[in-house]
Structure 1
């Protein structure tokens, strides 16, 4: 079999919706390069009622995509190691149960439990007020909620593709639109790709402005990991040219910014802003490795597409969400007005599309971890990281 196979699971324009679907290598006569499965189902009951999930297992790496929640990647597994984190939001939450305006704009946190969640598209930083033109062309104050809206918008189109080859490629494509009258109009086309037997999933997002006027655009990838990668003595490894604390709280531990503690119930989060170096092609990466350097999770991206980076530490108690975030982004996750002032809010022209490439892979043993560390060292080429002891004005509002 050499022809690409495809199945449309959701297409609102054509009123197509498939609630349950199971595809597999054996049933399709494609198991020459290993067993794989793709399963689509709808959850029932509780806050998860009505949430669609697509579970992909390539024989080595498995992961769950959630079309109902902006095509986020919920959790996964590779070589018996769990990928993701244990959020206090235990289950997937249908966006219909979320009011992002709750608790001063922090309602987004009610559904926050994904391994990879997109933050955007009109805004993606801290909650707060911003000034925009209303439908009459007059300046109007509006409340921007934490991390924007895209993670709580269901996909309008979902397709599964199986592309025969050596090895076979498994692809999930989704289309999510963030738009309403008198407001910006975005279309995001997400493509997840993995090859049978691999330890990697690749993501390509294409965000388009389908309005007739220019519109602002922000995007951040909140990539979150707990145990077994995160533990006391774990470290983040990346080609950091410069790092600075986000605020006075992060400043307290700036000398140990790249290492992690064990459980600390009541821990108050810390954030660090970084300038990450890249190779000659603009490619860069970040790895969270365990204490023994025998296991790591790696995020790869193109710095020309995502020039900013935030490291989020939340090493609290086990039931409170013991987690760290590696967050490549277009802008720093500050209030949008501050990011606009610093020139980190992009403008998409009518019809313009912005492409972003991101990947997650698992370094499953000491040799693989060492290979990633060698990549980081090659990018740094002997340079040392500049560590700022206090927040800096170019990145943090509290430094102004």
Structure 2
């Protein structure tokens, strides 16, 4: 739980501070050098929780800290704005930053894909993890305000359009909120098909945990009823999927497909906890929204990360779904909504409660 020195009521906060920005704010910023030069973002501070929403990259959340400790993974290219690698097949890896999450889709997720001849879908070439993650936001808004419940709310919103002449016209409307006095970030998304034909809608949140939260002795906590390795390389990895060790030079990545259990309300979750650090990062969502859940575990030196990936499609890719005849699509003018919540948990008591919640669902 987020510990405050006083009650986060309006009267109490105003009594202790000349400006509430002493404790909480949203602030538009722009990076000034390197690959990130010109990249626009919204900095959000909520007490000891601080994060950046990338306005030029779908409002995805990149950097996040809690009490000064980094919680997520930043890949070798680091922060970067739009560039020539963004939508060029596998070269997309030169622009994938990591961060708390990046949004994958909507025409494709995972490996690059080219629509084969004879497909029922229009011909197309789709880069790794799709195009929405590199789409700049429009109608960007950020605010900090008291709501009707007496909460001080930090809010970021905007919309992204993935579109092509004679092609798709998919609009993502996103709202990100965090309430002062909590260590939670809520992402509420709505995707609308504004074209006049049925469109594929592959939709995944690529959530990434990095050092120092991810360290030897940390644990991946997933209420998994069944675990399937993606490939032979993963099957040959003799380290348990839930166990985190030291980085190993040139160790290949492992990817696991999890069949998640859900509680009586249909909710499921996942997270990484580090008892030595006394911190954990959790994600929570409606299981019905995400029939697929993948774990990306990379213990390679320099690529040390665990990805938690709730999705409406499989990591096996668009071609796999097309062959099965179950590629998820969205009707013309229709909309779909999803919500995902990120929470920092602090202290061994909170970690124990989170692990016990997992154990209760899978009877460990």
**TM superposition score normalised by structure 1:** 0.81
**Which runs of 5 or more residues in structure 2 are unaligned?**
1-12
**Structure 2 residue 105 is matched with structure 1 residue 123:** no
1:194 CA drift (Å): 0.2
- In 1: Cα distance, 2:57 partner to 2:114 partner: 25
**Structure 2 residue 346 is matched with structure 1 residue 364:** yes
User: Which is further off, 286-295 or 215-224?
Assistant: 286-295
Task: Please say if residues 178 and 187 of structure 1, whose CA atoms lie closer than 8 Å, have aligned partners that are also in contact.
Answer: yes
Task: Please say if residues 84 and 225 of structure 1, whose CA atoms lie closer than 8 Å, have aligned partners that are also in contact.
Answer: yes
Task: Please say if residues 275 and 348 of structure 2, whose CA atoms lie closer than 8 Å, have aligned partners that are also in contact.
Answer: no
Task: Please say if residues 26 and 144 of structure 2, whose CA atoms lie closer than 8 Å, have aligned partners that are also in contact.
Answer: no
- In 1: Cα distance, 2:358 partner to 2:72 partner: 23
For residue 350 of structure 1, what is the aligned residue in structure 2? 332
Secondary structure of 1:158 counterpart: strand
Distance 1:217 1:140, change over 3 A: closer
- In 2: Cα distance, 1:81 partner to 1:116 partner: 17
- In 1: Cα distance, 2:319 partner to 2:14 partner: 50
Task: Please say if residues 132 and 139 of structure 1, whose CA atoms lie closer than 8 Å, have aligned partners that are also in contact.
Answer: no
- Coordinate RMSD, CA, aligned: 2.4
- In 2: Cα distance, 1:293 partner to 1:68 partner: 33
**Structure 2 residue 203 is matched with structure 1 residue 219:** yes
Q: How many residues align?
A: 348
Aligned pair partner of 1:69 in 57, 81, 85: 57
- In 2: Cα distance, 1:305 partner to 1:339 partner: 17
- In 1: Cα distance, 2:155 partner to 2:287 partner: 24
Distance 1:277 1:343, change over 3 A: farther
For residue 152 of structure 1, what is the aligned residue in structure 2? 134
- In 2: Cα distance, 1:183 partner to 1:370 partner: 49
1:56 CA drift (Å): 0.1
Secondary structure of 1:274 counterpart: strand
For residue 173 of structure 2, what is the aligned residue in structure 1? 189
**Which runs of 5 or more residues in structure 1 are unaligned?**
1-23, 385-400
Where does structure 1 differ by over 4 angstroms across 4 or more consecutive aligned residues? 138-141
Task: Please say if residues 120 and 147 of structure 1, whose CA atoms lie closer than 8 Å, have aligned partners that are also in contact.
Answer: yes
Distance 1:181 1:51, change over 3 A: same
For residue 334 of structure 1, what is the aligned residue in structure 2? 316
Deviations 1:246-302 (A, max 9, x none): 000000126612112211111111100011111122111101112548321101111
**Structure 2 residue 35 is matched with structure 1 residue 47:** yes
